[in-house]
Amino acid sequence: MSATPSESTLLKSPKARVSVDEILDDDEYANRLEDRALLGGPNSRRRDLQLLFSVMGDFMRGFRALHFVGPCITVFGSARYKEDHPYYKLAQEMGAAIAKMGFTVLTGGGPGIMEAANRGARDVGGRSVGCNIKLPFEQDANTYVDRSVTMNHFFVRKTLLLKYSYGYVIMPGGFGTMDEMFEALTLIQTGKIHNFPMVIMGGDYWRDLKELIEGMIVGGTISPEDLNLIKYTDSIEEAVAHLEDKAVKQFGLRRRRISKESMLLGERGLDT
């Protein structure tokens, strides 16, 4: 049987990290992922209860791991860029700049852009945290984090990446990066979270998307003020200035009073 057009494109691409055959080989593994069972339609009552406890376990593990890491800026981006790519280097510089501001750099904990941002924070002695996800490919944890926690469920992971941040930096990425970006924008637009700043970097990469979003304003599907806190720039200095104005000044960088760490609950600070 001949490959479909999409399969053919992927198989011929020299930059593709995984092939279609590798994905199909991992299908048996993917069937064991919790999200596939959760999103696969009705289950038995017993299985739904198991899945509910799995979601609760993810949230509790994430809460306990991230509660004491300090105020964060989350960096989103593709797992597929290697360290010799300009976007990797840009993310590494941005991670270092975020750490110098006094924020903890929070990422999805994987390779590529995530690794670069965590690495940048580590380079300057800053705080670096990863919130990883179980996947059949792409998502091995990077070695530049001071603390790492791994989730079974994508939506739990995404919630945690938003929950602990005072701002978001969007680097070039694929479907997952766009999902995370628009989730944050939707929550800001609807008032579910504060108007945390968003910096979108990689102007050439995002040019068409920027035009699409501006077209939404023309079409009346979003309001001009919805984009007031989005900053498009490839300049580290401009990005830092925007975060300073919209995060540090708006919300302050003071840590909230938090309860004392509990050994019974498995809690520990980032430095312990």
The three-state secondary structure class of 232 is strand
Instruction: Tell me the C-alpha distance between 103 and 93, whole Å.
Output: 14
The total number of structural domains that make up the chain: 1
pLDDT at 21: 53
pLDDT at 2: 39
pLDDT at 37: 82
User: 115-146 pLDDT, tens per residue?
Assistant: 999 999 999 999 999 999 987 665 678 999 99
pLDDT at 48: 92
Residue 257 lies in a domain: no
Beta strands in the chain (DSSP E): 72-76, 104-107, 128-133, 147-151, 165-170, 198-200, 230-232
pLDDT at 51: 92
Residue 169 lies in a domain: yes
Residue-number span of the structural domain to which 231 is assigned: 58-251
Residue 258 lies in a domain: no
pLDDT at 256: 42
Residue 92 lies in a domain: yes
Residue 256 lies in a domain: no
Residue 46 lies in a domain: no
Residue 16 lies in a domain: no
CATH number at residue 125: 3.40.50.450
Task: Provide the pairing of β-strand 128-133 with 230-232.
Answer: unpaired
Below-50 pLDDT ranges, the chain: 1-20, 23-24, 255-258
Instruction: Tell me the C-alpha distance between 139 and 150, whole Å.
Output: 10
Backbone angles phi, psi at 158, to 5 degrees: -65, -40
Instruction: Tell me the C-alpha distance between 226 and 178, whole Å.
Output: 17
SS (H, E, C) 85-139: CHHHHHHHHHHHHHHHHCCEEEECCCCCHHHHHHHHHHHCCCCEEEEEECCCCCC
pLDDT at 9: 37
pLDDT at 4: 40
pLDDT at 26: 53
Q: Is the pTM of this model over 0.85?
A: no
pLDDT at 195: 87
Residue 238 lies in a domain: yes
pLDDT at 229: 84
